[in-house]
Structure 1
Amino acid sequence: MNVLFLTLSIMENINERGIYTDLVKELARRGINMHVVFPRERRTGLPTELTINENIKFLKVKTGNITETNFMEKGISTLKIESQYLKAVKRYFTGVRFDLILYSTPPITFEKVVKYFKKEHNSKTYLVLKDIFPQNAVDISILKNGSLIWRYFRLKEKNLYKVSDIIGCMSQGNINYVLNHNPFIERSKVEIFPNSIKPVERVAGTNLNNVLYEKYNLPIDSTLFVYGGNLGKPQGIDFLLNIVDHFHEVNNGHLLIVGSGTEYEKIRNHLDTVKPQNVSLYKKMPKSEYDQLLELADVGLIFLDNRFTIPNFPSRLTAYMEYSLPVLAATDKNTDFKDILKESRSGLWSESGDLKAFIDNAKILSNDKRLRNQMGMNGREYLEEHYDIRKTVNIIIKHL
């Protein structure tokens, strides 16, 4: 059985853990021949290339820059990607007939690729919906509702939904939003396919890696709050900077920010100006080293801009749950992610922009180790029950 997986996620190292690498490996473990297509951005200087690892083939397609670039370049590169992918797949996977086309958003511009194989191979098509675009861009004022470019991307979004046999959403809130705003979609073709990973063995939380403490200049006796991930407009960076300015109010707390994105330099410049004593910022680091930092951490942080009307569901939640970290979140009020925190009893939530509520929650977690440990254990148990890819992959396999 052959599956074609189209993604923007960089998968140069299949051994790195994550929601897409773990999905691909689990499908391959079930005996499925996986054909993974992902971009090699122009900045790498590398050509299109096909590599093979057992029953997984990786087609790395040379594209324009899509990440960590300006909106214009990202937009042009995104528009070109479906023709670049289709050309590469036809060339490198000649003679392969695909039973399933699996594709994730972003981007929403895979329609032509999906439609081609649906027609020529009679393939089943499955959309893994991780991003509701262009509305998310409208929410944070990147696109103007009703503009020409908005109408173009909205049409592409609708066409992608129409060509998809099944749409896998991250949560019930996502399902409700998609159906309410796209009444042409049949309810029967939408289901929950959550962010999932293959969890590592349970970590005791007693890692005292002095090398990392020294390397990142972290105080051993402080409560370590870690944010790891994208540093862009969706995270509501102005509110994060407000937190930076007031984090000294959290007794014995240290804030560690690890990531990259369009707003990284803005954060760096702010820290250089304010020079807070209990806040650190580092560029994105190797996944293995970041995982070691999570073993040292006490609390995992999640931020989303409070203007979002779409129910985003942050993928980094699974990483925090995996390492039994309680979650401290500040997001928009529309996401049902906050309901999962409440249901799992794995963290504290406040609306993004409410500084007092956030600092108060940080103080609670900083001062109560027993509460942190209990919430961390609750999160780990919830992950094993609901977000283990060895279980959730069956949601996709049942359609084959």
Structure 2
Amino acid sequence: MNILFLTLSRISDIEERGIYTDLMREFVRHGHTIYIVTPAERRFHQSTKMLDSGNVKILKVWTFNIQKTNLIEKGIGTLLLEYQYQKAIQKYWRNVKFGLVLYSTPPITFNKVIAALKKKDAKTYLLLKDIFPQNAVDLGMFSKGGLLYRMFRKKEKRLYQLSDYIGCMSPANIDYVLRHNREVDIRRVEVCPNSIELCKEEEQAYPKEILFQKLNIPTDKILFIYGGNLGRPQGINFLIEVLAANEKRNNSFFIIVGSGTEFMKIKLWFDTNAPHNACLLSSLPKQEYDSLVRVCDIGLIFLDRRFTIPNFPSRLLSYLKNRIPVLMATDRNTDIGEIAKINGFGLWTESGNIETYMEMVDLMASDRERIRIMGENGYSYLETNYTVNCSYDIIMKHFE
């Protein structure tokens, strides 16, 4: 089958590791031909071009900057995406018959592309990774009664209407979609979670001792690591509160690795307070970051407490893959904490509850055997639920 995948993720090589490239390789392993449309944002100074490696074809479409840019350009760029993608698909793949169109949110602005392909008898499947525009309302980016909200909400509803099936990240996501979109048929909605390919154990690219020395990380403390976006969705103020509280302890060290719109806020705190129980790294080469996660003890997830939508961050997979338990501070609406607690691989509290959070830090830091057992529980849960072969089976049972 010819399968078209529309995404905002930057993909240049199908062999890259990530939730989408891992899934695309699974489709290739089953004999499908994959066509991927991905943005080439203007800051990279690339024109539209196609990369063809036989059963994988990647169409990189010139777009405005839509990530890590100002809200005006992001908004304009997002609205223009469907026209740019549709024009490029028409130019390069006009005569290709697609059996299935896969697409992920964000964005919610692929409607015209999807509608045109449905007219050619393609089946459609939405990988719902982000519920917009409500997430923007939750963070105070615009008002629920405003023009922007009404415009994007209309596009969101149209996207659900065009989708033959909607794959949600967790049961709480299904409940949210159905509760707020009564016109969506429950039979079209299912759990299709974030997933990765489990490979043989990777070699440690950087020896533990050399890595710790290079990054100035202590060897005699329990290491908590956060890796990923440092933006408004993460509730950075509470993360800073946690780091400050941890300065009173002597057996736990926090490693923060990432970038994003709130990076300078957290960097200012580090510059002002010079903590001895934490370090901030703006970025690391992928091999080095992977090596670092492997030698840490506990993974961290933070989400802003204002969220009314149930986010399910994909960084969870990296922690589970590396057999480390997860400590979570989120809103009350996501079920990521409940799933972790029930299955024995993590602890949860509501973001903002510093007393309970530090009690969890103390509980984890006091018992290495507990850390080991919870880490193994997480890996087992990953094997059973969050692998790309599971996602492939969930999607393709509708089309084979």
How does the TM-score come out when normalised to structure 2?
A: 0.97
Distance 1:177 1:94, change over 3 A: same
Matched to 1:314, the amino acid is: P
Contact 1:203–1:323 at 8 Å: present in 2 too? no
Counterpart position of 1:143: 142
Contact 2:338–2:348 at 8 Å: present in 1 too? no
Matched to 2:109, the amino acid is: T
Shift of residue 286 of structure 1? 3.0
Shift of residue 249 of structure 1? 2.9
Counterpart position of 1:166: 165
Contact 1:42–1:62 at 8 Å: present in 2 too? yes
Identity, in percent, stands at: 50
Q: Does 1:86 align with 2:50?
A: no
Counterpart position of 2:267: 268
Shift of residue 179 of structure 1? 0.3
Distance 1:92 1:246, change over 3 A: same
Distance 1:222 1:200, change over 3 A: farther
Shift of residue 367 of structure 1? 1.6
Counterpart position of 2:43: 43
The Cα offsets for residues 321-369 of structure 1, whole Å up to 9 and x where unpaired, read as: 0000110000001111111101210011111001111111111111210
Shift of residue 208 of structure 1? 4.7
Contact 1:203–1:295 at 8 Å: present in 2 too? no
Q: Equivalents in 1 of 2:311, 2:356: separation in Å? A: 21
Counterpart position of 1:332: 331
Unmatched segments (≥5 aa) in structure 1: none
Contact 1:208–1:296 at 8 Å: present in 2 too? no
Matched to 1:92, the amino acid is: Y
Q: Equivalents in 2 of 1:67, 1:284: separation in Å? A: 17
Distance 1:379 1:114, change over 3 A: same
Q: Equivalents in 2 of 1:224, 1:54: separation in Å? A: 44
Q: Equivalents in 2 of 1:295, 1:186: separation in Å? A: 42
Counterpart position of 1:367: 366
Counterpart position of 1:15: 15
What aligned pairs does 1:294-309 form with structure 2 within 5 A after superposition?
294-309=293-308
The Cα offsets for residues 89-138 of structure 1, whole Å up to 9 and x where unpaired, read as: 1111131110011000000001111001111x210010000000000111
Q: Equivalents in 1 of 2:44, 2:19: separation in Å? A: 23
Shift of residue 391 of structure 1? 2.4
Unmatched segments (≥5 aa) in structure 2: none
Shift of residue 204 of structure 1? 11
What aligned pairs does 1:21-32 form with structure 2 within 5 A after superposition?
21-32=21-32
Counterpart position of 2:218: 219
Q: Equivalents in 2 of 1:378, 1:202: separation in Å? A: 17
What aligned pairs does 1:317-328 form with structure 2 within 5 A after superposition?
317-328=316-327
Counterpart position of 2:239: 240
Q: Equivalents in 1 of 2:262, 2:81: separation in Å? A: 25
Q: Equivalents in 2 of 1:188, 1:84: separation in Å? A: 32
SS in 2 for 1:27: helix
Q: Equivalents in 1 of 2:291, 2:396: separation in Å? A: 33
Q: Equivalents in 2 of 1:170, 1:251: separation in Å? A: 37
Shift of residue 252 of structure 1? 1.5
Distance 1:320 1:85, change over 3 A: same
Shift of residue 49 of structure 1? 1.5
Shift of residue 209 of structure 1? 2.1
Shift of residue 241 of structure 1? 1.2
Shift of residue 202 of structure 1? 5.1
Q: Equivalents in 2 of 1:140, 1:161: separation in Å? A: 23
Counterpart position of 2:151: 152
More displaced, 63-72 or 94-103?
A: 63-72
Counterpart position of 1:77: 77
Q: Equivalents in 2 of 1:204, 1:21: separation in Å? A: 21
SS in 1 for 2:83: helix
How does the TM-score come out when normalised to structure 1?
A: 0.97
Counterpart position of 1:376: 375
Q: Equivalents in 1 of 2:286, 2:21: separation in Å? A: 12
Q: Equivalents in 2 of 1:81, 1:57: separation in Å? A: 19
Matched to 1:66, the amino acid is: I
Q: Does 1:282 align with 2:281?
A: yes
What aligned pairs does 1:73-222 form with structure 2 within 5 A after superposition?
73-119=73-119, 121-201=120-200, 208-222=207-221
Q: Equivalents in 1 of 2:212, 2:54: separation in Å? A: 38
Matched to 2:19, the amino acid is: I
How many pairs does the alignment contain? Answer: 399
Q: Equivalents in 1 of 2:189, 2:222: separation in Å? A: 42
Shift of residue 285 of structure 1? 2.7
The Cα offsets for residues 241-274 of structure 1, whole Å up to 9 and x where unpaired, read as: 1112112134321111111111111111121111
More displaced, 285-294 or 138-147?
A: 285-294
The Cα offsets for residues 33-56 of structure 1, whole Å up to 9 and x where unpaired, read as: 000111111111111121123411
SS in 2 for 1:191: strand
Q: Equivalents in 2 of 1:62, 1:331: separation in Å? A: 36
Q: Equivalents in 2 of 1:214, 1:41: separation in Å? A: 37
Contact 1:108–1:157 at 8 Å: present in 2 too? yes
Shift of residue 203 of structure 1? 7.4
Shift of residue 9 of structure 1? 1.0
